[in-house]
Amino acid sequence: MSHEQNESVIEALHECMVACNHCYDACLKEEDMNMMEECIRLDRECADICAYLEQAISRETPFISELAQVCATICEACGSECKKHQHEHCQKCAEACSKCAEACRKLTM
Amino acid sequence: MSHEQNESVIEALHECMVACNHCYDACLKEEDMNMMEECIRLDRECADICAYLEQAISRETPFISELAQVCATICEACGSECKKHQHEHCQKCAEACSKCAEACRKLTM
Amino acid sequence: MSHEQNESVIEALHECMVACNHCYDACLKEEDMNMMEECIRLDRECADICAYLEQAISRETPFISELAQVCATICEACGSECKKHQHEHCQKCAEACSKCAEACRKLTM
Amino acid sequence: MSHEQNESVIEALHECMVACNHCYDACLKEEDMNMMEECIRLDRECADICAYLEQAISRETPFISELAQVCATICEACGSECKKHQHEHCQKCAEACSKCAEACRKLTM
């Protein structure tokens, strides 16, 4: 993988991690938290795997393809859940997840 | 997965994480570090993914099978490298990696 | 720090991480999640710092005292919050947090 | 803390994490690894705490000041070590560590 590709995936992972954590924090402040259960759960899963993969790529992990595949799966699940909710933080998060999943899928080819 | 299975995998992951970090630390103190390059690198990869999966299982992640598969792959790679070296810390680490890989493989079935 | 002290702190951290993640997962399934907002938030904070410190100690981090101090602070905050709730998962978590905070405080002396 | 301050610290943490991991990877490829022992060790410590704090800030952790203080200490230690080595990756890393330590110190006031 070229250095430029690396940097663009790391950027997508970073933005997805931030969006997921913003969404997580905002969901915990929602009036009806029970509606947001799955969103809270998946935001944490997704933030954690994105943060993990960011680090792994930047230290040139030999397992980039395997890790990117799991990360794409988790981003897609989180994005699908977020898309269902009309809150701005959910919609932003869904978009970041979708971009990140796409960037990760490219690493698995 | 039953609660007992859960606990036994978490235990294997925990012991593998500790063994990898001990091996990492010991490798950094070896007289000829250049011999240990791959071992250092894989010890960190393996400790990090085991620590990650420990947490993910204990919070009932929905992605246990996907994560366990990656973790098994990384444990096997780390164990293979460690097995090549005669240092006690490497041999102990190889054993912990092999047990952990086996425990993870069961989660992917 | 002796090897035995090390092992006993790592054990306390590990049990606290597991208890916090169990509590986190159980809180997300509670009928009235809004009551559990702070508990969910602090469970994640506490699980993450315990998992972090476990790894850091096992790789002989030079920053054990500084990290143990932060970890003790977070364990105490999480324990205080959990103690307020009558759910069994919260009471168990409060106990694990309290033991872990105590173990961490000893590392800062 | 304002949203802008937040974003600028997260950026400094992210760049420091990437620089530390690049330096770590490059140190493992150096001809004389034994010279780089402390650098490798501190690069991992620093990358890990920066990655941790990035996530913690983005989820609005209540422990930002305590965590930023530890992070600043670790960044300073890593920067001091890196500064001793003439490799370009070490010099770049030292610079990123110094910027990040400064950004973290502001959060502790």
A27 near A89, Cβ under 8 Å? yes
Tell me what pLDDT residue C1 has: 57
In this complex, which of D45, D59, D62 lies closest to C61 when CB atoms are compared? Answer: D45
* Chain D residues 37-66 with CB within 8 Å of chain B: 37, 40-41, 44
Alpha-carbon distance of A69 to A82, in angstroms, equals: 20
Mean pLDDT of chain C: 95
Tell me what pLDDT residue B55 has: 97
Reported confidence tier of residue D85, pLDDT bands at 50, 70, 90 = very high
Most D CBs within 10 A among A1, A54, A59, hence the mutation to make, goes to A59
Tell me what pLDDT residue D2 has: 67
The DSSP call for residue D76 is H
pLDDT at residue C4 greater than cutoff 90: no
Q: Is the dihedral of CA D71, D7, A52, A93 positive or negative?
A: positive
Residue B83 to residues B15, B39, D33, Cα–Cα distance (Å): 17, 10, 21
D93 near D78, Cβ under 8 Å? yes
Tell me what pLDDT residue B42 has: 98
Q: Which of A53, A73, A41, A63 is nearest to A12 (CA)?
A: A53
Q: Which tens digit of pLDDT belongs to each residue from B43-91?
A: 999 999 999 999 999 999 999 999 999 999 999 999 999 999 999 999 9
Residue D65 to residues C3, C83, D103, D109, Cα–Cα distance (Å): 31, 24, 12, 8
Give the chain A residue nearest C48 (alpha carbons): A48
Tell me what pLDDT residue A1 has: 57
D26 near D89, Cβ under 8 Å? yes
B70 touches chain C (CB under 8 A): no
What mean pLDDT do residues C2-12 have?
Answer: 85
Q: How many CB pairs under 8 A join A and B?
A: 44
In this complex, which of C17, C48, C58 lies closest to B18 when CB atoms are compared? Answer: C58
What mean pLDDT do residues C82-97 have?
Answer: 97
Alpha-carbon distance of D99 to D79, in angstroms, equals: 10
What mean pLDDT do residues D47-72 have?
Answer: 98
A15 touches chain D (CB under 8 A): no
In 3-state terms, what secondary structure has residue B3?
helix
Alpha-carbon distance of A27 to A43, in angstroms, equals: 9
The C-alpha of B31 sits at a distance from chain D's nearest C-alpha, in angstroms, of 8
Mean pLDDT of chain D: 95
Instruction: Quote ipTM for the complex.
Output: 0.94
CATH architecture of C3-107: Up-down Bundle (1.20)
Q: How many CB atoms lie within 10 A of CB A87?
A: 16
The DSSP call for residue D36 is G
Lowest-confidence pick of B39-48, B86-95, D3-12? D3-12
D62 near D105, Cβ under 8 Å? no
Residues of C in contact with A37 (CB under 8 A): 28-29, 33
Reported confidence tier of residue D109, pLDDT bands at 50, 70, 90 = confident
Most B CBs within 10 A among D27, D28, D43, D49, hence the mutation to make, goes to D28
Using N-to-C axis directions, what is the helix angle for A88-107 and A64-83, rounded to 10°?
Answer: 160
Tell me what pLDDT residue B80 has: 98
Alpha-carbon distance of C64 to C55, in angstroms, equals: 11
Residue B27 to residues B78, B102, C10, D23, D24, Cα–Cα distance (Å): 13, 25, 21, 18, 15
In this complex, which of D34, D37, D44 lies closest to B44 when CB atoms are compared? Answer: D44
Residue D54 to residues A17, A90, D17, D48, Cα–Cα distance (Å): 9, 20, 9, 10
> Do A70 and B67 make contact, defined as CB atoms within 8 angstroms?
yes
* Mean pLDDT, contiguous 10-residue spans, chain A (109 residues): 80 98 97 96 98 97 98 98 97 98 93
In this complex, which of A45, A52, A67 lies closest to B61 when CB atoms are compared? Answer: A45
Residue A88 to residues A95, C31, D60, Cα–Cα distance (Å): 11, 25, 18
For D2, phi and psi rounded to 5 degrees? -75, 160
B35 touches chain D (CB under 8 A): no
Tell me what pLDDT residue D1 has: 57
Residue D6 to residues A11, A81, D10, D53, D102, Cα–Cα distance (Å): 17, 27, 6, 11, 14
Alpha-carbon distance of B15 to B21, in angstroms, equals: 10
B32 class by beta-carbon count within 10 Å (0-12 exposed, 13-18 middle, 19+ buried): exposed
Alpha-carbon distance of C103 to C6, in angstroms, equals: 10
In this complex, which of C10, C25, C58 lies closest to B59 when CB atoms are compared? Answer: C25
Helix segments in D29-87, DSSP class H: 37-58, 64-83
The DSSP call for residue D87 is S
Tell me what pLDDT residue A81 has: 98
Most A CBs within 10 A among D14, D45, D53, D59, hence the mutation to make, goes to D59
Tell me what pLDDT residue B99 has: 98
